[in-house]
């Protein structure tokens, strides 16, 4: 009897032990699955991925572009002013029409002595825009500068007479710049005569800067008058992409330095499109297109100027 009781006790103990082992295995299995579930939820909400070398490159590139844009957009603490001069006006009035439709105070430099000189000037002023005299001067390459040009072999009296005559033809003119003139603007004696005539009439001279050896800065200093010069030619190349690039550089110059003088030409059909489409750039760089009345501070005189020369 005692042996049978012992056997029953062993059996019961064995059942209990097996049950406990099964229960422990079930509990352990449940605990092992639970962390995996939580990990999956956390991963979906905020993945913890180690950046690869390519990822670092993309992040750095993005940061550089962002910094560059921020720097360029804030080049100037105050609004820059862009002065756009359109040269060679007076041969006809058809090319003038699209420029007059621009909602900006562009400035028109009119050649004297042409069939449409007076008509062009009248149309410009009637549209509320400003007129300049585009004074023809002799070029080094011998190209014909047109009627009424100043030549190197003229004496002082002849120069005074011809320049005065041109100002009389265009009494609307508030400023004057050279048409061609690479030979004349290098001559300090001739330029002194021209600047004295302009000064006597309260007319501003703007150097188109067709030569790196221009005598105008030194003569302006001698006569105690401000020196103004062209910063960029807009249409040395006639395609729209090149004009747009030159215009963009002009806007950046105005933003960086406070102002920039740009010169384009009436025959550049794409130029009106570039100017018309420039609102976003002007806003981004905090630059406005301004008239001559806002050109009040002379640019710094530079000992060396490497700007591109053309138009003789």
pLDDT at 13 exceeding the cut of 70: no
pLDDT in tens, 226-255: 999 999 999 999 999 999 999 999 999 999
pLDDT on residue 293: 86
- Residue 236 in any domain: the answer is yes
pLDDT on residue 62: 32
* Structural contact between residues 231 and 250, judged by C-beta atoms closer than 8 angstroms: yes
- Residue 168 in any domain: the answer is yes
- H helix and E strand count, the chain: 10, 9
* Structural contact between residues 63 and 243, judged by C-beta atoms closer than 8 angstroms: no
The stretch 153-158 carries a mean pLDDT of 98
- Tell me what the pLDDT averaged over the chain comes to: 79
Tokens of residue 309, six digits: 């020369």
CA separation for the pair 281, 231 (Å, rounded) = 18
DSSP H helical ranges for 74-116? 96-100
- Residue 232 in any domain: the answer is yes
- Residue 13 in any domain: the answer is no
The stretch 9-17 carries a mean pLDDT of 51
Give the CATH number, domain containing residue 259.
3.20.20.370
Distances, alpha carbon 111 to alpha carbons 88, 106, 125, 288, in Å: 6, 16, 15, 27
pLDDT in tens, 186-234: 999 999 999 999 999 999 999 999 999 999 999 999 999 999 999 999 9
pLDDT at 309 exceeding the cut of 90: no
- Residue 139 in any domain: the answer is yes
- Residue 67 in any domain: the answer is no
pLDDT on residue 43: 28
CA separation for the pair 132, 198 (Å, rounded) = 12
- Residue 4 in any domain: the answer is no
pLDDT in tens, 78-128: 489 999 999 999 999 999 999 999 999 999 999 999 999 999 999 999 999
* Structural contact between residues 174 and 295, judged by C-beta atoms closer than 8 angstroms: no
The stretch 297-308 carries a mean pLDDT of 44
- Residue 51 in any domain: the answer is no
Range of the domain at 273: 80-294
Q: Binning pLDDT at 50, 70 and 90, where does residue 295 land?
A: confident
Q: Give the DSSP H/E element, type plus range, for residue 240.
A: helix 240-257
Count structural domains, the chain.
1
Taking each helix axis from N to C end, the angle separating 269-276 and 240-257, rounded to the nearest 10 degrees, works out to: 50
């Amino acid at each position: 009897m005692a042996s049978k009781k012992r056997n029953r006790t062993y059996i019961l103990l064995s059942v209990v032990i097996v049950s406990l082992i099964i229960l422990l295995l079930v509990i352990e299995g449940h605990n092992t699955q639970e962390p995996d579930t939580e990990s999956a939820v956390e991963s979906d909400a905020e993945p913890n991925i180690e950046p690869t070398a390519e990822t670092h490159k993309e992040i750095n590139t993005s940061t550089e572009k962002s910094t560059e844009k921020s720097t360029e957009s804030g080049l100037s603490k105050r609004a820059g002013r862009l002065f756009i001069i359109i040269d060679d006006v007076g041969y006809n009035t058809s090319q003038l029409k699209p420029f007059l439709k621009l909602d900006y105070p562009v400035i028109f430099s009119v050649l004297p002595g042409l069939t449409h000189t007076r008509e062009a000037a009248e149309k410009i002023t009637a549209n509320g825009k400003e007129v300049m005299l585009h004074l023809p001067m002799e070029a080094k390459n011998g190209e014909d500068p047109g009627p009424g040009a100043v030549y190197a072999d003229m004496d002082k009296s002849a120069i005074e007479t011809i320049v005065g005559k041109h100002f009389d033809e265009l009494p609307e003119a508030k400023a004057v710049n050279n048409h061609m003139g690479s030979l004349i603007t290098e001559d300090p004696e001739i330029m002194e005569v021209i600047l004295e005539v302009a000064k006597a009439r309260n007319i501003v001279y703007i150097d188109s800067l067709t030569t790196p050896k221009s005598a105008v800065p030194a003569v302006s200093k001698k006569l105690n008058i401000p020196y103004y010069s062209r910063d960029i030619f807009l249409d040395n190349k006639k395609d729209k992409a090149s004009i747009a690039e030159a215009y963009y550089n002009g806007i950046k110059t105005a933003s960086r330095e406070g102002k920039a003088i740009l010169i384009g030409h009436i025959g550049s059909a794409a130029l009106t499109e570039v100017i018309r489409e420039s609102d976003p750039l002007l806003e981004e760089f905090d630059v406005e297109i301004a008239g001559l009345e806002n050109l009040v501070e002379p640019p710094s005189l530079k000992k060396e100027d490497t700007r591109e020369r053309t138009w003789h």
